Amino acid sequence: MSSPATSITNVGTRSDDKTDATRNKSSRKPSVNVGSTERTISTVGGAALALYGLSRGSLAGIAIAAIGGGLIYRGTTGHCNVYEAINVDTAHGKHGGVSVPGNSGIKVEKSITINKPASELYKYWRNFENLPRFMDHLESVTVSGEKNSHWVAKAPAGTTVEWDAEIINEKENELIAWRSLEGADVDNAGSVRFEEATGGRGTVVKVSIEYNPPGGIVGATIAKLFGEEPNQQVQEDLRRFKQVMETGARSTTEGQSAGAGR
Amino acid sequence: MKAICWYGKDDVRVDTVPDPKILNQSDAVIKITSTAICGSDLHLLNGYIPTMQKGDILGHEFMGIVEETGSEVKNLKRGDRVVVPFTISCGNCFFCQKEMFSLCDNSNPNAWMAEKLYGYSPSGLFGFSHMMGGYAGGQAEYARVPFADVGPIKVPDELEDEQVLFLSDIFPTAYMAAENCRIEPGDTVAIWGAGPVGLLAIKSAFMLGAGRVISIDSVEERMALARQAGAETLDFNDEEGVLELLKQKTGGRGPDSCLDAVGLEAHGTSMGAIYDRIKATAFLATDRPNALRQAIVGCRKGGTVSVPGVYGGLLDKMPIGAAFNKALTIKMGQTHVQHYLKPLLARIKGGEIDPSFIITHRMRLEDAPEGYASFKHKQDNCIKIVLKPGQSAATTNGH
């Protein structure tokens, strides 16, 4: 069976997408197909890349500067040729309650085995306010109802992004699935599944996270250049979840003694 | 406090650093009374272990008095005298519960680094690179010890520091290596390297029922200690060749098990050894497995090769055909120290062994940089150095 995060992305009506794309293609001057948050990130990120590229002065530096220039164009005009070519439009609203429109986002699936019963792990995770204890990109999650919560996540350059989320599927001790609601800074959806490992070896925890990165796919690529790799991030979140559940705390050396490092 | 810090190849310094603090409530802080320099610390000194950072506090063989405990620590209290295992282990994961403590799932905060190289990460270690957790080590006046209920073992007052200090690493390491030899009564065990681990492995092999132990080294004072421990010795540089001599000494059959207590910086003048040096220097390989090659080729058919010597990265020209066609068993790994603490402390208490026979030098903590240099160059008959934080030169000036 496919994960709930996958299935919810297929809920939307695809005809809206096509309409938007057709409209963009038919206009003569470069039309706006990039959302406003994304345009800002494109412009700022593009400028940073351009400056970085120029300062290197090498052939690779010139290439980086050119990419930066392209991003500035994209940010200031709101038009992305790449998006046009792949029929993506992040400027024009939502599509029938879909959190992450089909195949346009980033999807990460990871799993880990934890030496604890599923019931214990489920109970901890089900209280979303615990999530920032092991998901480092989260600043806070506030539970506002049986199914609803408000999430604040860290974004580049000390900023934050926020969204409301609802639980769309749950089965005690087995599964929790959630997604962001209309008006989210970052559209996202996720699910976690708890399965008993063979031979009494604890519980296999399978997580699927899907999101539309701020700045689109291009933004995600820039983020990767600066070390924010979503696969690694989810893996580390799971590792910390395991540490917290198996040992009561995250393993750390932060704040330990060291020489001055001359 | 004062601590011995790594600053690069052949550059260790005495530094003044902040005192350690409790970071997790399962931590303890130990005031260190004795701490040793390990042969594997030389791999750090020689720049063979990646992911060291300037200012890292060295040391993974230490003991002392509990100074402070986190609120969740139940088994220890201030004033307890303890030996600390070099492996950091949570006690709760799949591996710890199988007593494979050096494979703990949870104690390495930098597990992702080790995963890149090894696929899966072993446990965190004290003072042994960031890939192994980046934990500040015990060549210092104080150390923070995570999972204080799982690692440290309380030791009775009647035993001296020097009798129990090596429970932290090299005695369990030697003992596990001997156990890994799967010794049957009367077996012949060949041991490459008569350094501290090799010497303690001789004793351990006899404890486990070996009939004969053949120790292979080239440093005379080490071979003398090996003979005192009951081993026959064989000179690594003998012109007849180690493999031929081993064959002669074992009636043409070969030793039942071979133990490599040398590790990744083996010396040697064979073509293989010279080839290794060139490759390692050019960073085409990281480890020089000369002792391991001999152990594999020298071992009898159906025998066992045990590897406590540290290997970190890649090696080349392994005689895998010899291992396969002779149906050898190869056992290796970092020591599951916690598994061995109680039984080995009992052996020390019962007078079966006094591991302090390997100590040749006692120094102040502040003298560690000179200690490292003489240990590296095997000057002044140096075999094992114990550092005494907080003591004056007068009381440590004994050989």
Our CA-based measurement puts residue B158 at a distance from the nearest CA of chain A, in whole angstroms, of 32
Is A1 a member of any domain?
Answer: no
pLDDT single digits (tens) B148-179: 999 999 999 999 999 999 999 999 999 999 99
What is the structure's pLDDT at B314?
79
- B239 and B384: one domain? no
- Residue B28 corresponds to which amino acid? A
Residues B257, B207 share a domain: yes
Domain end point (choices B280, B314, B332): B332
Same domain? B220 vs B287: yes
Q: Give SS3 for A249.
A: coil
Query: Are A199 and A175 found together in one domain?
Result: yes
* CATH code of B113's domain: 3.90.180.10
On the question of pLDDT at B205 being above 60, the answer is yes
Q: Residue B390 — pLDDT band, cuts 50, 70, 90?
A: confident
Give me the torsion for CA of B228, B234, B236, B238, rounded to 10°: 130
A189 and A120 part of one domain: yes
User: Among partner residues B19, B93, B124, which is closest to A115 by beta-carbon distance?
Assistant: B93
Statement to judge: residues B339 and B328 lie in one domain:
no
| Residue in B5, B72, B146 closest to A259 by CB | B5
**Residues of B engaging A, defined by a Cβ cutoff of 8 Å:** 1, 3, 5, 7, 13, 15, 17-21, 23-26, 53-57, 72, 90-94, 97, 105-109, 111-112, 124, 133-136, 140, 144, 146-147
Taking only the tens place, the pLDDT of each residue in B174-197 is 999 999 999 999 999 999 999 999
Asked whether residue B11 carries a pLDDT value surpassing 70, the answer given is: yes
| Residue A6 covered by a domain | no
What per-residue confidence (pLDDT) applies to B75?
A: 97
Tens of pLDDT, residue by residue over A13-37, are 333 333 333 333 334 455 666 666 6
- The parent domain of residue A22 ranges over 12-85
Q: Assign residue B299 the CATH number of its domain.
A: 3.40.50.720
> Of A85, A112, A127, which one is at a domain's C-terminal end?
A85
A133 shares its domain with A162? yes
Q: Is residue A70 part of a domain?
A: yes
CATH code, domain carrying A184: 3.30.530.20
Work out how many domains chain A is built from and give that number: 2
Strand partners, A163: A151
Is A80 inside a domain boundary?
A: yes
B153 & B300 share domain? no
Tokens of A205: 């925890």
Angle between helices A36-56 and A216-225 (to 10 degrees): 40
Domain coverage including residue B142: 2-169+335-396
B257 and B304 Cβ atoms separated by less than 8 Å: yes
Does one domain contain both A109 and A224? Answer: yes
Same domain, A241 and A150: yes
Best residue in A236, A242, A257, A262 for a mutation probing chain B (most B CBs within 10 Å): A257
* Same-domain status, B158 and B204: no
Q: Which residue among B288, B310, B332 closes a domain?
A: B332
At what angle are helices B170-180 and B337-349 packed, to 10 degrees?
Answer: 100
Note whether residue A205 is domain-resident: yes
Write down the H helix ranges in A108-151.
118-126
Domain boundary among B332, B367, B383: B332
Pick the residue from chain B with its C-alpha nearest to A252.
Answer: B109
Asked if B14 and B145 sit in the same domain, the reply is: yes
Q: Do A259 and B25 touch (CB under 8 A)?
A: no
**Which of A28, A62, A85 represents a domain boundary (last residue)?**
A85
- The average pLDDT across B56-63 equals 98
A208 and A79: one domain?
Answer: no
**Dihedral through CA B16, CA B22, CA B24, CA B26, nearest 10?**
120
> Beta-carbon neighbour count of residue B278 at 10 Å?
10
Residue that is last in its domain, among A28, A56, A85: A85
C-alpha R_g of chain B: 20
Whether residues B339 and B267 fall in one domain: no
Residues A68 and A117 placed together within one structural domain of the fold:
no
Same domain, B49 and B121: yes
A248 — contact with chain B (CB < 8 Å)? yes
B286 has pLDDT over 70: no
Helix/strand/coil percentages in chain A, nearest 5: 45, 20, 35
Residues A58 and A112 placed together within one structural domain of the fold: no
- Residue B166: closest CA among B374, B383, B345: B345
Count of residues in chain B: 399
Same domain, B188 and B106: no
- Based on the domain organization, do A62 and A177 belong to the same domain? no
Are A160 and A228 part of one and the same domain?
A: yes
ipTM of the complex: 0.89
Do A115 and A222 have their domain in common?
yes
- Please give the average per-residue pLDDT across B280-297, as a whole number: 73
Q: Which residues of B touch A246 (CB under 8 A)?
A: 90, 92-93, 105-106
Average pLDDT, chain B: 92
Least confident of A55-59, B43-47, B108-112: A55-59
B142 and B21 inside one domain: yes
The length of chain A, given as a count of residues? 262
Does one domain contain both B237 and B265?
yes
Domain assignment present for residue A65? The answer is yes
Highest mean pLDDT of the ranges A37-41, A48-52, B73-77: B73-77
Picking from A78-82, A118-122, B235-239, which range would have the lowest pLDDT averaged per residue?
A: A78-82
What 3 state SS string does chain B have?
A: CEEEEEEECCEEEEEECCCCCCCCCCCEEEEEEEEEECHHHHHHHCCCCCCCCCCEECCCEEEEEEEEECCCCCCCCCCCEEEECCEECCCCCHHHHCCCHHHCCCCCCCHHHHHHHHCCCCCEEECCCHHHCCECCCCECEEEECCCCCCCEECCCCCCHHHHHHHHCHHHHHHHHHHHCCCCCCCEEEEECCCHHHHHHHHHHHHCCCCEEEEEECCHHHHHHHHHCCCEEEECCCCCCHHHHHHHHCCCCCCCEEEECCCCECCCCCHHHHHHHHHHHCCCCCCECHHHHHHHHHCCCCCEEEECCCCCCCCCCCCHHHHHHCCCEEEECCCCHHHHHHHHHHHHHCCCCCHHHHCCEEEEHHHHHHHHHHHHCCHHHCCCEEEECCCCHHHHCCC
**A80 with A109, same domain?**
no
Highest mean pLDDT among A40-44, A83-87, B294-298: B294-298
- Is A157 touching B (CB cutoff 8 A)? no
The model's pLDDT over A219-231, given as tens digits with 9 standing for 90+, comes to 666 666 655 678 8
* Total domains in the fold of chain B: 2
Q: Is residue A179 part of a domain?
A: yes
Closest alpha carbon to A88 in A74, A72, A108, A76: A74
